[in-house]
Amino acid sequence: MRKNIVAGNWKMNNDLAETQELLSHLKMQLVKEPKADVYVAPSYISLFSAFESLKGTAIEVAAQNMHFAEKGAYTGEISAKMLKSVGVKTVILGHSERRAYFNETDELLAKKVDAALENEMTVIFCFGEELKDRKADQHFEVVKNQLENGLFHISKDACKNVILAYEPVWAIGTGETASPEQAQEIHAYVRKMLTEKFGETIAQDVSILYGGSVKPDNAKDIFGKEDVDGGLIGGASLNAVDFLAIVNSFE
């Protein structure tokens, strides 16, 4: 059975001290048996200390990005092996900000996906259309292409290490959320694509998260939809009370 998951993508926020402070609130206030797996993705410089301070808790640490190469002359980059050496086994790939501001293409993402999976990491793979695509009624096509070109080359077996995150770009950080129905529509479409590519059993096992202005007051309605298995949370993950309210939104 697929899992409920809530992941906080902190983006370029929180220095080391702020990271520790937010984590200590999360640790203190997280319920004993959360109804979702919980991840936080601090910046690279805080990953090691975050991993150390979350040891023995139900909160896992994820990275926001990584390079596809094992090592070498890639100034400023971080490899899967480096992430694993500080205890990080999960990585967010394909976030729309990486695609838009750092020119990450589907082809590049396919290489990053391969590197992460070869290193037995879990990938949170983001995809989603821009406003112009939705206005032109191209959103299904865009999502299909991103998944086919960036992810669907993996083996059936590797799917167990993949979490999907549908993030319509027009809803990220804008306060504008996709309606629960709009999210469900795309999630069901993606689940159908997974079924056609990998078979029914795998399609039913893959968690598909929604991301884009999820807040405590809309999480329950969005997560209540059949094919929505949780959320990738940006802004609201920077506040412990809000983030945990979202974690506690599952029925």
* Amino acid identity at 108: L
Q: Are 147 and 127 in contact (CB under 8 A)?
A: yes
> 153 catalytic, yes or no?
no
Q: Are 242 and 29 in contact (CB under 8 A)?
A: no
> 167 catalytic, yes or no?
yes
Pick the catalytic residue from 95, 97, 129, 187.
Answer: 95
Cβ neighbors of 158 (< 8 A, separation 6 or more) are 117
Nearer to ligand PGA, 89 or 98 (CB): 98
User: Where would I find the H helices in the chain?
Assistant: 16-29, 44-54, 80-85, 96-101, 106-118, 131-135, 139-150, 180-198, 200-205, 216-223, 240-247
Per CB under 6 A, the list member of 94, 128, 168, 211 interacting with ligand PGA is 211
Q: Which of residues 139-178 bind ligand PGA (CB under 6 A)?
A: 167, 172-173
Per CB under 6 A, the list member of 50, 62, 186, 233 interacting with ligand PGA is 233
Q: Does 229 bind ligand PGA (CB under 6 A)?
A: no
Nearer to ligand PGA, 79 or 218 (CB): 218
Nearer to ligand PGA, 143 or 172 (CB): 172
Cα angle 154, 159, 161; round to 5 = 110
Per CB under 6 A, the list member of 5, 6, 9, 62 interacting with ligand PGA is 9
Q: Does 224 bind ligand PGA (CB under 6 A)?
A: no
Pick the catalytic residue from 60, 104, 129, 167.
Answer: 167
Exposure string of 118-144, with b = 16+ CB inside 10 Å and e = fewer, is ebebbbbbbbbbbeebbeeeebbebbb
Cα angle 31, 33, 34; round to 5 = 70
Nearer to ligand PGA, 99 or 225 (CB): 99
Q: Which of residues 121-140 bind ligand PGA (CB under 6 A)?
A: none
Per CB under 6 A, the list member of 212, 219, 227, 243 interacting with ligand PGA is 212
CB of 9 to ligand PGA, least distance (A): 4
Nearer to ligand PGA, 9 or 207 (CB): 9
Q: Does 232 bind ligand PGA (CB under 6 A)?
A: yes
- Report how far residue 219's alpha carbon sits from residue 227's, in angstroms, rounded to the nearest whole number: 14
Q: Are strands 90-93 and 230-233 parallel, antiparallel or unpaired?
A: unpaired
Residues engaged in binding ligand PGA (CB under 6 A): 9, 167, 172-173, 211-214, 232-236
Q: Which residues are catalytic?
A: 95, 167
